[in-house]
Amino acid sequence: MKILVVAEMQLGKLKPSNGAAVRFAQDLAAKTGGSFDIVLIGHGLADLAAGLNKYGAGALHVIDAPRFENYLPGSFCAAVVGLVQAEGYTAVIGGEATTSRDIFPRIAGALGAGMCKGVSAIVDAGGGVAYQRAVFSGMALRTERIHTPIHVLTVDPTAVGEPAEGPAGAVKAFAAPGGDDDSVKFVERRRAESGRPDLAVAERVVGAGRGIKSADYLETIGTLADKLGAAIGSTRAVVDAGWLPNEFQVGQTGKAIAPKLYLAIGISGAVQHSAGIRGAKTIVAINKDPEAPIFKIADVGIVADLFDVVPKLIEKI
């Protein structure tokens, strides 16, 4: 297959999920006897291109114009579709993230191509390839086969490894079709700055559940997180209660994470949350309910009142 990886940016930097997309492209190219290129879309990208151009891609396409300063689905979709049609790509791959979730189905629709979202593995299927992905809150895996000439895929970053390094490809500027369009205008971004590691890729994550009882206790959770050099994550209940913004949510409708250590504090372990921490290396659970489902997936557990245990951990770590 002739593969295009659509790299994503996050607050002016390359997004970590790009690594999984490149790795998946390398694996798919090896399996189907093809090659892959990468495209980066934005404005003022000169310094970022080098960070992507070290994985053996044939080409690094750069689409750089003032109108791409902020991500907007319509113009970014038109840019990717224009490049796919100009170069004749047969697969379009991105790392699973909120931007790819927004734009990839639109790209697939525009190309008349089938799409699989959040793919975790390539499966052999009667001379071709099929893709496995988690469905039903991660409680089941489903194998899906795409029958259109072009395959559109997003890749689950917690299920795919790091990309192999390789020579740099030719850097090519692509003049994307389309012009200024006022149908969608970027207004602003509101974001809580914490100074902590990025939840999506943090090596350690302290997860807070409804058991913490109030937003006030997040300060103590934050102290523990800072002692561990950890990011804070949460369940949907904590976000629903308004204690933390949505970008902290881990699970089926939030982020999927794969830290080395996930410290689940006052989290019962509903399937919707567990769906987001399946990739964690070690799960440590603190919960006063010995029957809490979290202990079924935890590696280390303590049945105790978190309000006793957490201050002691802060003291001893």
Partner 1 sequence: MKVLVTVKPVADPNTPPAAWIAAQQGKPTGEVNHVANYFDLIAVEQAIRLKDVGVDDICIVSITGDDKMAQVRSAIAMGANRAILIDPEGKALEWHQIAAALKHVVEQEQPAFVLMGKQATDDDASQVGSILAGMLGWPQATFVSEMEFNADRTRVKVGRETDEGVEVLDVKLPAVITCDLRLNEPRYATLPNLIKSKKAPLERFKFSELGIAADPQVTVEGFALPAGRSGECRMVKDADELVGVLKEMKLV
The token pair that represents 164 in the structure block: 């192999």
Q: Does 98 bind partner 1 (CB under 8 A)?
A: yes
Cα 109–110–113 angle (5° rounding)?
A: 55
**Bridge partners, 233 (sequence order):** 207
Q: Does 301 bind partner 1 (CB under 8 A)?
A: yes
* Dist. CA 305–CA 92, nearest whole Å: 49
- By CB under 8 A, name the one of 22, 40, 261, 267 that touches partner 1: 261
DSSP label of 160: S
Between 54 and 67, name the residue whose CB sits nearer to partner 1: 67
Number of chain residues interacting with partner 1 (CB under 8 A)? 95
Stretch of 32-40, 46-54, 67-75, 85-93 lying at the interface with partner 1 (CB under 8 A): 67-75
Residues 33-52 that bind partner 1 (CB under 8 A): none
Helix (H), strand (E) at residue 56: none
Between 23 and 106, name the residue whose CB sits nearer to partner 1: 106
- By CB under 8 A, name the one of 226, 253, 288, 293 that touches partner 1: 253
Between 166 and 296, name the residue whose CB sits nearer to partner 1: 296
Residues 177-216 that bind partner 1 (CB under 8 A): 182-192, 200, 204
Closest separation in Å from C-beta 56 to partner 1: 27
* Dist. CA 31–CA 165, nearest whole Å: 18
- By CB under 8 A, name the one of 28, 57, 72, 232 that touches partner 1: 72
Spatial neighbors of 102 by CB under 8 A, at least 6 apart, are 73
Q: Does 267 bind partner 1 (CB under 8 A)?
A: no
257-269 b/e (C-beta count within 10 Å ≥ 16 → b): bbbebbbbbbbbb
Helix (H), strand (E) at residue 178: none
Residue the block writes with tokens 């089941």: 140
Please name the amino acid found at residue 241: A
Stretch of 29-37, 42-50, 161-169, 238-246 lying at the interface with partner 1 (CB under 8 A): 238-246
